[in-house]
A and B are shown apart, each in its own frame.
Chain A
Amino acid sequence: MNWYKFSSPKTFYPVAGSLAPYFLGVAGALLILGLYIAFFLAPTDFQQGEAYRIIFVHVPAAWMSMFVYLIMAGWSVVGLSLNSKLSYMMAQALAPTGAIFTFLALVTGSLWGKPMWGAWWVWDARLTSELILLFLYVGYMALHSALDDVRRADRATAVFALVSAVNVPIIYFSVKWWNTLHQGASVSLTQAPAMAKIMLMGMLIMSISFWMYTIGVALLRLQCIIAEREREIIWMNEAQRSE
């Protein structure tokens, strides 16, 4: 099977359209299952009470926020080295989802922080680096939308994604050391006592659900991007007419 066949927007456009509903369907089913576990099956935490239940959304969202940036950087490498249009589009399609997950992780984190730490925001290393990650997503999308020439926008954002992805671990560790330099770790997220199996299960299911959602939504967004960019081209008009 020739995989390169699918690297052309023309062949991938219908594939993306037919795959997306499956991913979204699986995501929806797992979301319901995960939330059921989160709200009804998982026991109440003896230290944190009911408020801990937000981790079923918070932790998967935080995982995805970092992971999506890496995937974007990966597609950027593919794009810059093989010069394939679709890889750039892939990276572009993932960016808003990643930004949303970052935002979600920040919001759920502060909702959890208020009852637990008594503050909406703490300059903890993880919070701070997550915030910086949000800045990077915003920068990526701002750069893409500011450049009119799509080809230049694709490649410029790819360079930015790569440079900033290399920086993400440096930022993380610097913020971590800064934190220990300025104040003793007033709050630590790492004191996780052996988690109940059902909690871990719920979190994993939610993660897979978010994962599937990311793929499904990225594919749909990819279709929009392809349609927007290839609107002058004949195959696109024919595809639109036949739909």
Chain B
Amino acid sequence: MKIAGILQALLWRDIKLAMRRQSDVVATLFFFVVAVSLFPLGIGSAPSLMHAIGPGVIWVAALLSSMLSLNRLFSSDYADGTLEQLLLVPMPLTLILAIKIFAHWIVAGLPLVILAPILGLQFDMGAKDIGILVLSLILGTPLLSLIGAIGAALILGMRGGGVLLAILVLPLYIPVLIFGAGAVTASVNGISPEGALSLIAAMLTLGVVFAPFAAAVALRISLE
């Protein structure tokens, strides 16, 4: 089997597995919606306030819900022994992990991007701002999966790993949050969001190159 074939099979396998357990995927999405809806209830719903907090609230909720789904990345494969078999595949582990992270993004990140416009409407955003929101999430959520994969690999198989994962990963998410929410806020305020978007794209490029490698190192340590 050629490398491309193996990678394609891996990608389909991960997506199929996620689709067979839809409740997980749906629960994370629902968390995203619920978390976002809590803020107006807690803070109040004056239109000027909505404009000010909307981008940040949506981005923070996206951050948290993509963190919640990180456990799925390796844990079930670890539990049934698939992960150890993947380590034995005569291919760079970095590549395999890159595919797994991509599959995770399709299942956990892409739905957030698709849902975001509806939430943007709740916060009274204009069409252009919603476009920027979607664009910033398209660039940002893969980065969240990439950084998160390193953390998920480090805490693999640990009891009570969920809280620890939050402590490890959330500080590293901060730049993504700043530029992601910053791009949308700039657009809402009539400033060009191009700078912030370019910076997320630059970080994404770095992440694609280095994060799978770091996750592979971490995974080997955890599975030793």
The interface of chain A, by Cβ under 8 A from chain B, is: 80, 132, 135-136, 138-139, 142-143, 146-147, 151-152, 155-156, 159-160, 162-164, 167, 170-171, 174-175, 177-178, 181-182
8 A Cβ contacts from B103-158 to A: 150, 154-155, 158
Q: Contact between A159 and B178 (Cβ–Cβ < 8 Å)?
A: no
> What's the minimum C-beta distance from A216 to chain B, rounded to whole angstroms?
29
Q: Contact between B174 and A175 (Cβ–Cβ < 8 Å)?
A: yes
Contact of A167 among B172, B182, B218, B221 (CB under 8 A): B172
> What's the minimum C-beta distance from B118 to chain A, rounded to whole angstroms?
26
Q: Main SS of chain A's interface residues? A: helix
Contact of B167 among A138, A163, A177, A181 (CB under 8 A): A138
Q: Contact between B154 and A159 (Cβ–Cβ < 8 Å)?
A: yes
Q: Can you list 17 A-B pairs, Cβ within 8 angstroms, ordered by A?
A: A135-B171, A139-B167, A143-B168, A146-B160, A146-B161, A146-B164, A156-B154, A156-B218, A156-B221, A156-B222, A159-B214, A170-B203, A175-B174, A177-B178, A178-B178, A178-B182, A181-B196
Contact status of A174 and B178, CB under 8 A, knowing A135-B171, A152-B221, A156-B222: yes
- Give CA–CA (A152, B224) in the complex, Å: 8
B residues less than 8 Å from A170 (CB atoms): 175, 203
Q: Contact between A147 and B178 (Cβ–Cβ < 8 Å)?
A: no
> What's the minimum C-beta distance from A85 to chain B, rounded to whole angstroms?
15
B182's closest neighbor in chain A, by CB?
A181
> What's the minimum C-beta distance from B11 to chain A, rounded to whole angstroms?
25
B residues less than 8 Å from A152 (CB atoms): 221-222, 224
- Give CA–CA (A132, B186) in the complex, Å: 24
Q: Contact between B155 and A174 (Cβ–Cβ < 8 Å)?
A: no
Contact of A135 among B167, B186, B199 (CB under 8 A): B167
- Give CA–CA (A223, B10) in the complex, Å: 48
A residues less than 8 Å from B182 (CB atoms): 177-178, 181
- Could you mark each residue 187-223 of chain B with 1 if its beta carbon is under 8 Å from any beta carbon of chain A, else 0? 0000000001001000100000000001001100110
> What's the minimum C-beta distance from A3 to chain B, rounded to whole angstroms?
27
- Give CA–CA (A171, B171) in the complex, Å: 9
Tell yes or no: B32 within 8 A of A by CB: no
B residues less than 8 Å from A156 (CB atoms): 154, 218, 221-222
Q: Contact between A146 and B203 (Cβ–Cβ < 8 Å)?
A: no
- Give CA–CA (A60, B174) in the complex, Å: 26
Q: Contact between A167 and B175 (Cβ–Cβ < 8 Å)?
A: yes
Q: Contact between B164 and A163 (Cβ–Cβ < 8 Å)?
A: no
Q: Contact between A175 and B172 (Cβ–Cβ < 8 Å)?
A: no
A residues less than 8 Å from B161 (CB atoms): 146
Q: Contact between A160 and B175 (Cβ–Cβ < 8 Å)?
A: no
- Give CA–CA (A136, B174) in the complex, Å: 12
Q: Tell me which of B171, B217, B218 has the highest count of chain A C-beta atoms within 10 A of its own C-beta.
A: B171
B residues less than 8 Å from A182 (CB atoms): 185
Q: Contact between A181 and B186 (Cβ–Cβ < 8 Å)?
A: yes
- Give CA–CA (A181, B175) in the complex, Å: 14
